[in-house]
Structure formats: C-alpha cells, structure tokens
C-alpha cells in the first residue's frame, strides 16, 4: 500500500512539486482558517486569554440577538435595492457602448474607471461630496434653488441609503456593464441583420433577441452583484459608521464590531458561519441558474 503510494508519488513528482506551493498556502491560510471558524464558533474566544468550549451557546445567543438580525435585515434591504439598480444602469450602459463607433472605447473606459478605485477611497471621496458644509451636492442644489439649506445626506437612514446607492452605482455599474457586454457580443450578428430586414424596431430587437439570449449572462451578473452587495462593508463603515443609531450596520460590519470592538471572536465566528451559509446558498442559486443544460 505505502510502496504503491511512494511509487506513484515518485512517478508524478514533478506535477506534485509544481502545485505544492499553492496547495500549501491555500491550506494554511484558507482551508485551516475555514475549519477554525467553525471550531471558534463553539468556543468562548476572547481577544486575549484562553478560550473555552461552550457548545452551541454562541448560536443560541445569536438567535436572540436583535442587532445581528437587524444587520441581516438591513443588508438584505440594501442588497435588494442595489442589485436591480446596478443591473438596470449597467444594462443601459452596455446597450449604449455595444457599438463599434468612434470614441466608444473612451466611453467604456470612463464608465469603468471607478471600478478600479478602492471602495474605501471611493467612500471617503463621496463622504466629502455629500458633506453638508463643504460638499458639492448641497452647494449646487442650493445655488440652483432646489434646497434652502445644506442637507446632511448621510445623517438620516433613508437619505444615507439613497446616497450610498448613488455612490455604489457610480463605483460598480462599470463592472456589471463589462459582464453584460461580453454576453451581448456573443450574440451572433446575423440575428440582428435578419430582424432588421424584417423591419423589427430597435426595441423589439432588444426584447426578442438580446434579452432572451442573455439569460445566462443576466443570471451571472445578478448573482455576482447579489454576493458583492451582501458583503458590503467599507461604504457603510466609512460613510455612515453604521449610524444614525446603528440603523445602517451591515452583516460584515457587525461581525467586525462584535469581534474586534467587543472582543468576542467566538461570537463573531458564529456570525461568520451564518454569513457563510447565506453566501453558499446564493452561490448554489448561481450554479443552478448557470447549469449546463440545453433546455
């Protein structure tokens, strides 16, 4: 048995040697931490000092933790607002730049550029633009006579959510636009030409050719932005700090706070497990929607 294994290893040594480093790093810094998350969630685990096994207590506490469920509800609300908004804007942009005309490359670049800026940097930038004293939005709206006095856009739950929606649309639409563009360009051109000859209008071409043939791409774009939105952190951490009155705390933000502000690492790990399960469910949905079948 071992002799066989040794012989097999010797024969395939080169292959194993090439993949060993990345397997090792993935194991130490991903697989092990993943298992540790589960283990930690069954422990009382302070930042300093020794941990102790407490069974399901963290999970039982979690069940009655209104702040945690509040953060889930808020994240869900944010996700359900942001995902369709990004999708619609990105689809519009993709339709706009899915042509081979002059300058279209420049337009694509401009719409995509915010994607490569860090979410933290973008959030700091927009916090400043939304500021009531020095921000551009209040100033312009006041000069136009739309508002009478500066508005604290980030100071109230709903206007903060709307403001962050605007920021995220700016930051993330370009990404979804490119994904949709890839799908759009995979549609055979002669379909449109045939439709054109039949006298189909621009809109009916989109309705009857583009949209039906892009279902897979739509599913991909939507689930990717679902996942991204559910993991939202920086924009709220920077722009609202979770306020006012903890009304804009996302799940990741709440895990961070429980773990590194209240030093309850085990409790944070239990929340991480819940977050993990939610995301695996979304990934499962993604795989189901993108499964290879030919209907």
Partner 1 sequence: MSNVSQPLMSQRWRRRAINSAYFSVCTVLALMFLFPIVWSILTSLETAAEASTSPPVYFPSRFSLENYRNLAAYGQGIGLYLGNSASVALMTVVGTLVLATMGGYGFSRFRFPGRNAIFMLILVTLMIPFQSILNPLFVLLRLLHLQDTQLGLALVYTTFQLPFAVFMMRNAFDAIPKEIEEAARLDGCRPIDILLRVMLPLVGPGLATVALFAFFGSWNELLAALILISDSRAFTLPVMLLNAQSGQLGSMNWGLMQAGITLSILPCAILFLLLQRFYIQGLVAGAVKA
Contacts of partner 1 in 166-185 (CB under 8 A): 170, 174-175, 178-179, 182-183
Please, what is the angle between helix 66-97 and helix 251-260, to 10°? 140
Which residues within the stretch 137-156 sit at the binding site for partner 1 (CB under 8 A)? 138-139, 142, 150
For 13, 87, 106, 107, 122, the CA distances from 113, given in Å and listed in that order, are: 45, 17, 10, 10, 12
Which is nearer to partner 1, 21 or 145 (by Cβ)?
21
In the chain, helix, strand, coil percent, each to 5? 75, 0, 25
Nearer to partner 1, 40 or 72 (CB): 40
In the list 52, 67, 121, 201, the residue contacting partner 1 (rule: CB under 8 A) is 121
Residue 163 makes CB contacts below 8 A (sequence gap 6+) with 126, 130, 153, 154, 239
Which range, of 55-63, 79-87, 156-164, 231-239, touches partner 1 by CB under 8 A?
231-239
x/- track of binding to partner 1 for residues 5-44 (CB under 8 A): ---x---x-xxxxxx-xxx-xx-xxxxxxx-xx--x----
The region of 52-60, 66-74, 104-112, 207-215 touching partner 1 under the rule CB under 8 A is: 104-112
Q: Is 82 in the site for partner 1 (CB under 8 A)?
A: no
**Interaction with partner 1 in 244-283: which residues (CB under 8 A)?**
252, 255-256, 259-260, 265, 268-269, 272-273, 275-276, 279-280, 283
Tell me which of 128, 196, 204, 288 binds partner 1, using CB under 8 A.
128
Rg (CA), the chain: 25
Q: What are phi and psi of 138, to 5 degrees?
A: -60, -40
**Residues 218, 173, 183: CA angle, nearest 5 degrees:** 35
Q: Give CA–CA dist 253/231, Å, rounded.
A: 9
**Which DSSP state fits 244?**
S
C-beta of 271: minimal distance to partner 1 in Å?
Answer: 9
Does 54 bind partner 1 (CB under 8 A)? Our answer is no
Positive or negative, the CA dihedral 20, 21, 25, 26 is negative
Supply 12's token pair.
């395939």
Contact range with partner 1 by CB under 8 A, out of 69-77, 105-113, 154-162, 206-214: 105-113
Q: How many chain residues interact with partner 1 (CB under 8 A)?
A: 92
Output 195 or 219, the one with its CB closest to partner 1.
Answer: 219
Counting contacts by CB under 8 A, is residue 109 touching partner 1?
A: yes
Q: Give Cα 153 distance to the centre of its chain.
A: 23
Of the listed pieces 58-66, 74-82, 119-127, 189-197, which binds partner 1 according to CB under 8 A? 119-127
- Which residues are bridge partners to 53 per DSSP? 43
CB of 60 to partner 1, least distance (A): 19
Residue listed under structure tokens 């040794």: 6
In angstroms, give the least distance from the CB of 91 to partner 1: 14
């Amino acid at each position: 048995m071992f002799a066989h294994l040794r012989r097999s290893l010797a024969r395939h040594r080169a292959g194993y040697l090439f993949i060993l480093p990345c397997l090792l790093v993935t194991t130490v810094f991903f697989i092990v931490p993943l298992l540790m998350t589960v283990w930690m969630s069954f422990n009382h685990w302070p930042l300093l000092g020794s941990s102790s096994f407490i069974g399901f207590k963290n999970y039982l506490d979690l069940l009655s933790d209104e702040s945690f469920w509040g953060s889930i509800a808020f994240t869900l609300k944010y996700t359900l607002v942001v995902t369709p908004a990004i999708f619609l804007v990105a689809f519009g942009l993709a339709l706009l730049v899915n042509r081979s005309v002059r300058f279209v490359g420049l337009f694509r670049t401009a719409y995509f550029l915010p994607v490569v800026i860090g979410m933290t940097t973008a959030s700091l930038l927009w916090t400043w633009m939304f500021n009531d004293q020095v921000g551009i939005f209040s100033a312009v709206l006041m000069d136009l006579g739309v508002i009478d006095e500066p508005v604290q856009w980030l100071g109230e739950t709903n206007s903060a959510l709307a403001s962050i929606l605007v920021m995220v649309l700016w930051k993330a639409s370009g990404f979804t636009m490119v994904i949709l563009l890839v799908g759009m360009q995979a549609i055979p051109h002669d379909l449109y030409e045939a439709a054109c000859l039949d006298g189909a209008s621009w809109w009916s071409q989109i309705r009857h050719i583009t949209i039906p043939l892009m279902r897979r791409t739509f599913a991909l774009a939507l689930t990717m932005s679902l996942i991204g939105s559910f993991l939202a952190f920086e924009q709220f951490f920077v722009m609202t700090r979770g306020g006012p009155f903890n009304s804009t705390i996302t799940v990741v933000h709440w895990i961070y706070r429980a773990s590194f502000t209240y030093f309850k690492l085990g409790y944070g790990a239990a929340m991480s497990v819940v977050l993990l399960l939610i995301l695996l469910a979304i990934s499962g949905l993604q795989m189901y929607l993108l499964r290879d079948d030919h209907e």
